[in-house]
Amino acid sequence: MPYTLIKPMTEEYQVYLRDESRTIGRAEAIAFVRNEAELAVVLAKAHADGTPVTLQGARTGLAAAAVPNGGLVINLMRMDRVTGLRRDAEGRFYIRLQPGVILSQLNKRIADKRFDTTGWDDSALAAYAAFKEAPEQFFTPDPTESSCSIGGMVACNASGARSYRYGPVREHVSALRLMLTDGQILTIDRGQVFARGRRLTLTTDQGRRLDIRLPDYTMPRTKNASGYYVKDDMDAIDLIIGSDGTLGVITQIEVALQPLPGAIWGAACFFERESQAIDFVIKVRQELDQVGALEFFDARCLKLLRTARAENPAFGGLPAIPEQRTCIYVELHCADEQEAARRLFGLGEMMTACGGDERDTWVCRTVFDRDKLIFFRHAAPECVNMIIDQRKKRDPVITKLGTDMAVPDRHLKEVMAMYHRDLEALGLEYAIWGHVGNNHVHVNVLPRTAEEHGRTKALYLEWAKTISQLGGSVSAEHGVGKLKAGFLRVMYGDDAISQMTALKRAFDPKGLLGVGNLFAPEGEGR
């Protein structure tokens, strides 16, 4: 009966043709696998038939990596078990997960210290007993969409606001299992297998040897989720992280946990002028070590939120947004409340030094206030989605158009000026928010017509060129998927793309996995 795992893509499965990017794909069949054995059966069939396979998690991605481009969809959300805990010699905890575990549920289980331990071995149970007695722990990566899957996070090397302090998912992944299209398994523990220069040899659990020549491009020294991670003498595990579902199927992930800071306080700081806010960001970055997140909301974004609050009951719970034009959200991660208070007052002084007023702030120190600020921070993308969905009804060509580019610190002011100048010159409606601490803001254009949609795409391609020349990254956290594949070619050039294609072939000789991800159709991105 194994082939009943593969179901024809009938009406009831249409939702699996799209993701949060609002892109709609096509597929002939779908399989919801529950374990490696089922996955092996499905992959064997696809491999034998030469059917393209698109891997899918929670479909919260913004680059359409999970949107199928024909063939078979393998949805991994039923592989959703926490399979164990480990404690290393230094007392650090690691948690083993199947790819379909949802981030918000994982966070809750960690906070509650409550796991279903069915099937755990003795060492995992012993680690669990120690975990229950240990100080509170947390998994640091915090993408805005917490309903994402762990597998998806690893596939696109996701980040979040707190990546400013703790780095992207990559830095927290300690082990992976990857099933190749021929059913063989690669088990990779961090710190065990390294490249020699740009040569990497991997051996599957079944004994097949993969000799891989790593592409010779140099990655930008910014936050980056664009294309394969390659570096001289790199750890093999880093090649898999961020590979956008193009090399194999991640079936198990081990991530490291961190002790939760004694006090996490947030402050939303409002400024009259964007220039003051950017000066504040630069000052905070230089002078304050305890910053967990450093986020930005421009005047247009705040206006959007004010309107939503006034007009839409769903946004009625937003705090009354002050009249100032720019907001910087700073999250302090401190040992205790005394230290947090000192740092908070330091922030107030920095605000004053940059022309702001510490009375124009919201401080969150309690669970309830934190919920309000989380709502505030998440409301911007929600507002944009709602507006886009409305406009899409008028013209189906219109989709959400958000950038994900990052630049080195020294270019922050320059790119912010470029964004405003170019968008205003074209008369586009837009809002900007994002991770300003990493010089990584999301420009979101709200096209009113198909023509504006087209102009925006052309503008983004120009920006991709400029950002690449400044040593930046065309995708800092969303991954490349299908929507940014053209930008990747701009960023690294044709030779690098050919080398990436060769690398992919070593893992997936038939080229079945993630068709359209990373590699743009001929002509795009030129």
Partner 1 sequence: MRIAVCIKQVPSTNEVRMDPVTHTIVRDARQSVTNPFDSYAIELAVQLGQKLNAETWGISMGIPATERLLRDACARGLDKAMLLTDRAFAGADTLATAYTLSLGIGYMGGADLVLCGRMAVDGDTAQIGPELAEHLGIPHVTDVCEVIEATPTKLVVRRLIEGGTQRLTVRLPALLTVAKDINQPRMPSIAGVRYGLEAPFVALGAAELGADPAHIGLAGSPTQVVRTYVPERGGEAIALEGDAATLAERLLEIIEEVSGHGRA
Residues in touch with partner 1 (CB under 8 A): 267, 269, 317, 319-320, 341, 344-345, 347-348, 351, 358-369, 372-373
Element (H, E) at 442: strand 440-445
Q: In the bound complex, what is the minimum distance in angstroms from residue 302's beta carbon to partner 1?
A: 16
For partner 1, the closer CB: 319 or 408: 319
Task: Sort strands 72-75 and 53-56 into parallel, antiparallel or unpaired.
Answer: parallel
Q: In the bound complex, what is the minimum distance in angstroms from residue 375's beta carbon to partner 1?
A: 12
Amino acid (one-letter) located at 216: D
For partner 1, the closer CB: 364 or 459: 364
For partner 1, the closer CB: 369 or 409: 369
Q: In the bound complex, what is the minimum distance in angstroms from residue 276's beta carbon to partner 1?
A: 16
Burial of 451 (0-12, 13-18, 19+ CB in 10 A): exposed
Residue 74 φ/ψ, nearest 5 degrees: -110, 110
Element (H, E) at 43: helix 36-49
For partner 1, the closer CB: 89 or 367: 367
**R_g over Cα of the chain:** 23
Q: In the bound complex, what is the minimum distance in angstroms from residue 203's beta carbon to partner 1?
A: 47
Cβ(415)–Cβ(278) below 8 Å: no
Amino acid (one-letter) located at 30: I
Q: In the bound complex, what is the minimum distance in angstroms from residue 348's beta carbon to partner 1?
A: 4
313 three-class SS: helix
Cβ(154)–Cβ(248) below 8 Å: no
For partner 1, the closer CB: 167 or 322: 322
Q: In the bound complex, what is the minimum distance in angstroms from residue 484's beta carbon to partner 1?
A: 37
For partner 1, the closer CB: 379 or 512: 379
For partner 1, the closer CB: 119 or 313: 313
Task: Report DSSP letters for 187-220, one per residue.
Answer: EEETTT-B-BTTEEEEE-TT--EEEEEPP-----
For partner 1, the closer CB: 261 or 447: 261
350 three-class SS: helix
CA 331, CA 88: separation in Å to the nearest integer? 29
Q: In the bound complex, what is the minimum distance in angstroms from residue 394's beta carbon to partner 1?
A: 34
Q: In the bound complex, what is the minimum distance in angstroms from residue 437's beta carbon to partner 1?
A: 19
Which residues, listed in sequence order, are joined to residue 328 by a DSSP beta bridge? 269, 296
Angle, helices 450-469 vs 412-425, to 10°: value is: 160
For partner 1, the closer CB: 1 or 320: 320
Look up residue 393 and give its DSSP letter: H
Q: In the bound complex, what is the minimum distance in angstroms from residue 316's beta carbon to partner 1?
A: 9
* Strand order through the sheet with 361-364: 361-364, 263-271, 326-334, 291-297, 430-435, 440-445, 401-402
Please provide the distance, in angstroms rounded to a whole number, between the alpha carbons at the two ends of the chain.
48
For partner 1, the closer CB: 346 or 471: 346
Tokens of 362: 């919201």
C-alpha distances in Å from residue 111, one per residue of 105, 106, 144, 156, 308: 10, 9, 18, 25, 32
Q: In the bound complex, what is the minimum distance in angstroms from residue 164's beta carbon to partner 1?
A: 20
